[in-house]
A and B are shown apart, each in its own frame.
Chain A
Amino acid sequence: MRHDRKVSLLAPGGSLEMAKASFNAGADAVYVGLYGWSRRTKEYELKIEDIAAICQEAQVRNKEVRVALNTAFSSLEYPKFRKTVQILKDIGVNGLIINDIGAIGVIKEIAPDMEVHISAGMNAVNIEDMWFYRELGADMIVMPCNLTPEEVREIKKHVPVGVEVFLHSNTCFTYLGKCMMSSYVKHSWVFDEFGKNHFHGSPNRGGYCHRICKANWKWDGKKVELRNDMFLAFDNLEDWIGAGVDCLKIQGREYNPSLIAEIVSFYREVIDRIVELGYLPNKETYKRRLEKISELRDRERNKRTCTVLKEVAEEAPIAV
């Protein structure tokens, strides 16, 4: 069945170059992380002036920019957070992705027209959760990868809130945002030149995860794996779109801009076909294309996993 509504494609903007590549490849919006405030390390976060440049690019093209402020920052950083929201409003950011219940009201007070997106790290997993965040002022809720199209369909049937789903991601061993294995093993407070704490080693607070779940674990002398599956919405993308998903998100601020452009272009085509026709013709051909892209993406991800685990192993005896 043909879909008579828009499904927006959200792509990463790990740099100005990546944001431009994402727009060129067909993204409706990009998300960027503000230096020190997003769930990624500082190499993939941007300073205000870079975000302002991306906003200008977006305005010219009639596209949108969302900024991830989705770390679990400190109570002591709230004055800084308030100032940041004001600045982001002034430079024309369209939405903020957040991870603290208290932040919703603060954003609505400073920037009433700013869209509030609930990060997947806030782990909204049921209809009552959706109502909770909706009533506090959330416009869009990013679903954890664990949810199914059926669950989203039920949510969309009952709760008037936008729903965003990852297209291509990895499900963590735990529910996203509910893991402290990394900071339990290695963690330090590191302040940047703006006085923002990067909470090194805490994925919740600073975005740097040592991926402890990917180390070699044993139980009773036998090797065991802590589940860390790949999540690929492609396999049942018709169901996701049919369930009423409003936004599909590509992860990967840490990847190469050319790889991101390839992924965006691929999904733009796929989404448009599904919205137009209600199904994806020649699915096997698309699947083969995606397999090649996934291989490149996984290679980059694995390289990174090895790096962050070795960092831990240097300090603490963990089996890598």
Chain B
Amino acid sequence: MKTFEISTHVETLEKLKQLNLSSIGALYLGDPTCLEYQTNLSNNLQHLKEAIDIAKEFGVKVYLSTFAVPRNRHLGPVKKFLEKALSLPLDGIEVHNMGLLRHMNKNLNYTGEIHVGFFANIYTHESVKVLEGYGVTKVFLNPELSLEEIQFINENTNAEVIIFAHGKLPLGISETCFIKEYASRECRDVCEPLVLTSGKWKLRSFGYATFSGKDWATLEYLGTLYYRGFRTFHIQGLRESPEYINHIANIYRQALENIVKGADNYMQREWIENITSLCPDGICNGYLFRRAGHRYIGKYFGGEALHEIERRERHEAR
């Protein structure tokens, strides 16, 4: 039985070349939010081939990520690309769209691993059971779920739940590109996210997708998650620098190694400082504890302990 696996998304070959793969067990190749830039591995067969070779050299599993919201007009090109990509030594495919899932399973009779991505909006164990019938072996659940809901699903299905361990939260995906609307650009390569602000709030627009300003972090709860049976931990790497991914993956790998060894206190003070400097807009994890996503509940990152919050809320309710 595997001890743990850390995964991340990487959009381009150039970025992959700058990653330190020693902490990473699985890579999702490609950007599911945008089909427009040519270097997207979801859309570039030559780069994908090279990326797979690099990952395989380091013993890393590779999954091709597919476009999250293909309309009828996208289906033809996406299907064509998939057929060609399946001749490469991929370990599996990540789908966010139920139509593409059906296509992989029913039309292509795909027997490799199929993982369902975070834009699929999966909230319940009954949904996961349906997905299993289509060959799904791993799922990203909607981040709005609480810890007890995630655990219930993991314990009541055969598919494995991937923990969204760290990174900007996917908060939505749109029909049009926000970046192109406000900043004219040619989409040859992946673009820098725009930072949207309203008062003290920040969001990051990736063009079609909107992500949180703050970084979701589960570092403090990794031990709990591990002992509750979770084994795959995902670092959200889309539109993040290689340095960010390398540092974060390294911290989470060390933490998980300490946990597997049975260390009483696996946390190191310097990790908190490193993460704080890598995530300058703040840290959050609220959904896990039935609260707003932007909040951080815990003893690190300026958070508040859950029992303190509950006591205050009870007092306010009176």
**Chain A residues near B (Cβ < 8 Å):** 72-76, 78, 100-106, 122-133, 135-136, 146-147, 151, 154-155, 171, 173-175, 177-181, 183-189, 199, 201-202, 204-205, 212, 215-220, 224, 226-227, 313, 316-319
Instruction: List which B234-275 residues lie within 8 A (CB) of chain A.
Output: none
Interface status of B308 (Cβ within 8 A of chain A): no
Nearest residue (CB) in B for A155 is B72
Task: Quote the shortest CB–CB distance from B155 to chain A (angstroms).
Answer: 10
Known A-B contacts A123-B121, A204-B121; the reply to A218 vs B126 at CB < 8 A is no
Name B173's contact: one of A154, A174, A204, A212 (CB within 8 Å): A174
Which A residues touch B3, using CB under 8 A? none
Name A219's contact: one of B121, B123, B195, B294 (CB within 8 Å): B195
A153 to B27: give the CA distance in the assembly, Å: 39
Known contacts A204-B121, A205-B123; can you find 12 more A-B pairs with CB under 8 A? Answer: A102-B127, A126-B97, A126-B99, A129-B98, A151-B72, A180-B169, A183-B293, A184-B169, A187-B292, A199-B144, A201-B292, A317-B200
Which B residues touch A132, using CB under 8 A? 98-99, 101-102
Nearest residue (CB) in A for B119 is A178
A124 to B69: give the CA distance in the assembly, Å: 9
Name A178's contact: one of B72, B121, B122, B149 (CB within 8 Å): B121
Task: Quote the shortest CB–CB distance from B242 to chain A (angstroms).
Answer: 25
Which B residues touch A313, using CB under 8 A? 199
Name A100's contact: one of B119, B126, B205 (CB within 8 Å): B126
Interface status of B287 (Cβ within 8 A of chain A): yes
Interface status of B4 (Cβ within 8 A of chain A): no
Known A-B contacts A75-B125, A75-B126; the reply to A127 vs B75 at CB < 8 A is yes
Task: Quote the shortest CB–CB distance from B131 to chain A (angstroms).
Answer: 7
Known A-B contacts A174-B174, A179-B171, A226-B178; the reply to A100 vs B124 at CB < 8 A is yes
Which B residues touch A179, using CB under 8 A? 171-172
Number of CB contacts from chain A to chain B under 8 A: 205
Which B residues touch A74, using CB under 8 A? 123-124, 145, 149
Which B residues touch A136, using CB under 8 A? 130
Nearest residue (CB) in B for A197 is B290
Interface pairs A-B: 5 shortest CB-CB = A102-B126, A128-B99, A174-B172, A129-B99, A184-B293
Pairwise interchain contact B130-A101, C-beta atoms closer than 8 A: yes
Task: Quote the shortest CB–CB distance from B173 to chain A (angstroms).
Answer: 5
Task: Quote the shortest CB–CB distance from A72 to chain B (angstroms).
Answer: 4
A124 to B99: give the CA distance in the assembly, Å: 8
Task: Quote the shortest CB–CB distance from A173 to chain B (angstroms).
Answer: 6
Using an 8 Å CB-CB cutoff, how does the interface string of B85-98 with A read, 1 for contact, 0 for none?
A: 00000000000011
A86 to B182: give the CA distance in the assembly, Å: 51
A204 to B123: give the CA distance in the assembly, Å: 10
Nearest residue (CB) in B for A315 is B292
A29 to B15: give the CA distance in the assembly, Å: 54
Pairwise interchain contact A318-B199, C-beta atoms closer than 8 A: yes
A146 to B254: give the CA distance in the assembly, Å: 45
Instruction: List which B100-114 residues lie within 8 A (CB) of chain A.
Output: 100-103
A/B interface sample: 11 pairs, CB < 8 A: A72-B123, A101-B127, A122-B121, A125-B70, A126-B72, A155-B72, A174-B173, A175-B174, A184-B292, A204-B144, A317-B200
Known A-B contacts A187-B291, A187-B293, A217-B196; the reply to A75 vs B172 at CB < 8 A is no
Task: Quote the shortest CB–CB distance from A231 to chain B (angstroms).
Answer: 12
Instruction: List which B139-171 residues lie within 8 A (CB) of chain A.
Output: 142-146, 148-149, 152-153, 156, 169-171
Pairwise interchain contact A188-B144, C-beta atoms closer than 8 A: no
Which B residues touch A184, using CB under 8 A? 169, 171, 212, 292-294
Known A-B contacts A105-B130, A175-B175; the reply to A126 vs B144 at CB < 8 A is no
Interface status of B30 (Cβ within 8 A of chain A): no
